[in-house]
Chains A and B, each alone.
Chain A
Amino acid sequence: MSQAPVVRLQNVTKVIGKRTIIDRVSFEVRPGEVFGFLGPNGSGKTTTIRMIVGLMGLTAGDIHIADHSIKTEYPRAIVHVGAIVENPEMYKFLTGYQNLLHYARMIPSVTEERIQEVIELVGLQGRIHDKVKKYSLGMRQRLGVAQAIMHRPKLLVLDEPTNGLDPAGIRELRDYLRKLAQDEGTAVLVSSHLLSEMELMCDRVAILQKGQIIDIRSIRGQAAEGENVALEEVQFDVDHPDAALGILEGQGDGRIEGGILTLSSDRKGIAVVNRRLVEAGINVYGIRVKTKSLEDQFLEVTGSETIG
């Protein structure tokens, strides 16, 4: 993808008092990409997100949204952004519809039809004229999503979007975000400390610790890259592990873990091992490459440090 990034952070720094909360954070999110922002509590995720949407000022650096700096052209930049920052807080004494109308009035492009469209999209048509104080948390989340997408933003920012959602709601949100990214080319920036969620949702993930980005890696990219020469742990489920180990003598670091033949190998190596096992008359029931989960990667990078 060579499209211009929707949001670009350049050396964004935030100092409060004498503490550097965010230290030279830089990254970009491209159209159609779901970008995850991962970090332990207190690592600066929310602060960074608040700076992107202009709720907090920058001590140094700059943020551009659709090529407009949020420091000098705030209204032009923010009009491309839809966001939920932490909980979707709404005016409880207004109805769901009045809440949407409130935000719609502030953005010129939102029509009456569009409001109806997003209400149906988030499935609130039955309750939209009820007061928000009667809504469940899940319904408030839906209303939050509705106000965030109503003006078809180029960038959707969601801070801890799965907080308080039930598994069905999380799944629905995830599918919806992916669809939005694919079909409308929306760039999505989500923050979370739930690793498994991020793994399912994101294309790329930035790992934040103590206000610094310590790693940015793609999640979906890896499998497709194919000709990966790196050695990975491979498990062979065979009927006679001991015999199999004998046959493979002298080839790599073969060992038996819990009755499963395990060795390090690259792609080509797997085929070679498999052929030799089959030729020696050993039944192979399954071959599995042990990909490291994001959680493993995350803990590997951040260690098990305490909140600093």
Chain B
Amino acid sequence: MANFINLILNENMKIYRRIRTWIMFGFILLLPPLVSLAIYLAGGDGISGWSIMMTESYILYSLITIFAVVVAADSVAGEFTWGTIKLLLIRPWSRSTILLSKYLATLLFALFFTAAAFVVTFLSNWLIFGLGDTTLSTSGLSNWEYIIRFYLFQFITLIMIVTFGFTMSSAFRSGGLAIGLSISFLFAGNLITGLFALANKGWVKYVLFMHLDLTNYIDGGSGPIPNHPTTLGFSLAILAVYFVFFNAVSWTVFKKRDVAA
């Protein structure tokens, strides 16, 4: 059978041959320099580039997550909407392989945008503000270590949200619904974390939403729930369980589904 890489190339073609993708990319490229410039002109020229980079990275990460969810949602549901799923599935590939290629292409998209965000936020703040001697970490990490951990942890969160979006996309075959649910998942997550953190119950630490923000661990924090300390390993294990569950649902639904549309 032909090379699996070809399937990824196909999915990439369907992502990057759309103008939409490049509009999204434009946001990532333009937002950091514009925001930095605005802060600079508003009289913030004494601030360290590192802190602005952190703030902008936070904002960009919400954007990248939303973009990646849009791509994930379209990846499966779009094929059903366009009717192209019929021509896509009647090829000498199993449905799970086709789904895997879509999933990986979506993650590559997120990785590409993340890398771009990292470079752009760093360069624009370095050029505008310079790297002052601020220390981001409270536990003795260097600024580089801190930022890289931040990106890494945020990417793990992104994988979870995108996986959820992907599952919704294959389950409901509706891009709009998948995007809506994933984004509310992302934002409701923050609210629910806040509420549950107040609840003094042990089971709270098994709730997925509590572990969507891992940045607490960058400086060696004890997790999201004050009275029930958790470790990074614990959070990752919880995420892994939900990750497997979401993917199992996508795969099962996608493999079994009769394509009648």
Q: Which residues of A contact B (CB under 8 A)?
A: 47, 50, 53-57, 74-76, 78-79, 81, 83-94, 98, 101-103, 105-108, 147
Contact = CB atoms under 8 A, between A and B. Distances in A.
Interface string B138-166: 00000000000000000000000000000
Nearest to A108: B2
Main secondary structure of the interface of A (DSSP, over half): loop
Contact of A98 (B13, B92, B94): B13
A107 B13 contact: no
Given A103-B87, A106-B10, A89 B92 contact: no
A107 B88 CA distance: 11
B22 interface: no
A98 B18 CA distance: 12
Given A85-B86, A90-B84, A106 B14 contact: no
Contacts of A92: 82
B93 interface: yes
Contacts of A87: 83
B-side interface size class: 20 to 34
A50 B261 CA distance: 11
Given A54-B89, A55-B89, A147-B87, A105 B82 contact: no
Interface of B: 1-2, 6-7, 9-10, 13-14, 17-19, 82-84, 86-87, 89-94, 256, 258-260
A98 B7 CA distance: 14
Contacts, number: 83
Contact of B94 (A47, A75, A81, A93): A75
Contacts of A108: 1-2
B2 A56 contact: no
Contacts of B259: 50, 55-56
Contact of B2 (A55, A101, A107): A107
A290 to B, nearest CB: 42
B99 to A, nearest CB: 14
A102 B90 contact: no
Contacts of A103: 87, 91
A55 B84 CA distance: 12
Contacts of A86: 83, 86
Contacts of B84: 89-91
B256 A57 contact: yes
Contacts of B14: 91, 94, 102
